[in-house]
Structure 1
């Protein structure tokens, strides 16, 4: 059983993590609320990965990453972590807006992702520049995987691609949502699609 959440976050938090402390608290609180045995899907490996792994030690955490160097570093730092290598090269940030639904559906989702997830965090691929791989594929896969009870967090929701496709694929059924501000970077936000366990 992991230690109490405040202690765990203090022990594992890396100040260089790009997600803000308040946003981390929100994601971590939801993961722990689904414990024990939470199923937590994380798109993107980074400085926060050991924290997510430790946070959900009594559950199942699966990381999805496209950069081989990040995968290698994570496997050295977290030998026990489950990591799926994805190829997002076909969907650049700029090209995503012209991609047809048929072309998107033709990108096979890894079998390891199938099933019901309690929490999904979309924080990769990086998607900084027009020619970078974008987050259309993780958003599309999440839209197929999420259930009514699934909490979905989309980092960098302030960016054009993330907002456009999150609104289209994650918010299509008018779910309860919140935007979590980044307290260190003005204008940077994270979308939280709030999962619902209680009856309507």
Structure 2
């Protein structure tokens, strides 16, 4: 008897069932991985555009390193500046003198105010070593000062007219002693000074600054009618003692300290008790500010001024 029932049975092999489950697992794993990657990308994008990171980017674009010059750079600058070359006949400072001055600049709290009398072979070096502070140069030659600024726009230089003569140094020191309670007192605003040794034709703002380091390396010339450096030394002494704020002490360096005219002038106004070191051509003084109304440059000075010869000896 023939079976007329059309019902059919489909039997799935266990292997086929397992294969379908495996595909679903792989699809689920792929979707999970894609979702995780999308979330990570979203988080990273939001962090990279956050205000904190934006400030970091801005700080990079306006980068200013507050740290001192690295020692290798400092060493290279000192080596370059103290190495003679055939393109100039100007005297160069010795390596020992350069290191002494640079050490004071590196110890100076930022921003450091550096005043230099004289434009020289080392001018660019001083400006570089004091890269975090303000460096001002004073020179007696207005044309050279203007030319130097034109060639080096980063240099701040001013010219000054000296009214002194090297041959008159002894008389000028004696006159300053007599006027130490009036025009030539050690604490005053030189802008209004009538002392012949005081430089009062600089820009007004320079008299308001508290100078941390002062280098007397000018004016040039050691003949009888040359201005000599007594006026620059006196001005440095008054500026150091008349500070209103900042560090109470000022490092004052006198180059060519080995010459009698500069040594006598320095001992008169910067004083022996303030002399830290004198070696070779450099004298190093540390001068403290004084109270208003002080009338004596040195505590231990009793001898009269020493006559100064009108020569470079």
Between Structure 1 and Structure 2, the one with more helix by share is 2
Deviation at 1:31, TM superposition (A): 0.6
Deviations 1:123-168, CA, capped at 9 Å, x for gaps: 0001322221211111111111114410010011111210111000
Write the distance in 1 (CA, Å) between the matches of 2:131 and 2:101.
15
- Secondary structure of the residue aligned to 1:163 is helix
Higher Cα radius of gyration: 2
Q: Distance in 2 between matches of 1:39 and 1:80?
A: 15
Structure 1 position 33, deviation (Å): 0.9
Counterpart of 2:120? 46
Matches within 5 A, 1:135-146: 135-146=229-240
- Aligned residue number for residue 170 of structure 2: 97
Of structures 1 and 2, the one scoring higher in RCO (CA 8 A, sep 6+) is 1
Match of 1:113 in 2: 206
The answer for unaligned runs of 5 or more in structure 2 is 1-64, 85-90, 177-182, 184-194, 242-247, 289-313
- Whether the aligned pair in 2 keeps the contact of 1:39 and 1:59 (CA below 8 Å) is yes
Dislocated runs of 4+, deviation >6 Å = none
C-alpha contact (below 8 Å) 2:119/2:138 kept by paired residues: yes
8 Å contact kept, 1:177–1:192:
yes
TM-score by length of 1: 0.83
Structure 1 unmatched ranges of 5 or more: 182-188
1:77 positional shift: 3.1
Is this contact kept in 2: 1:122–1:138, CA < 8 A? yes
Question: Which stretch of the first structure deviates more once superposed, 155-164 or 7-16?
Answer: 7-16
1:98–1:22 CA distance, 2 compared to 1 (3 A)? same
Judging by fraction of residues, say which structure has more strand.
1
Q: Deviations over 1:105-124 (max 9, x none)?
A: 57525234313111100000
| Cα gap change, 1:52 to 1:107, in 2 (>3 Å) | closer
Which residue matches 2:226?
Answer: 132
Q: CA deviation at 1:23?
A: 0.4
1:170 pairs with 2:270: yes
- Taking only aligned residues, the RMSD between alpha carbons, in angstroms, comes to 2.2
Secondary structure of the corresponding residue to residue 150 of structure 1: strand
Between 1:34-43 and 1:67-76, the stretch displaced more is 67-76
Q: 2:136 aligns with which of 62, 70, 73?
A: 62
- Would you say how many aligned residue pairs link Structure 1 and Structure 2? 187
After superposition, the C-alpha distances for 1:17-76 in whole angstroms (9 at most, x for unaligned) are 521111001101111111421111100001110111111111011111111243133213
Secondary structure, aligned partner of 2:266 = helix
Q: Does the residue aligned with 1:194 lie in a helix, a strand or coil? A: strand
Distance 1:52 1:28, change over 3 A: same
TM-score between the two structures when normalised by the length of structure 2: 0.55
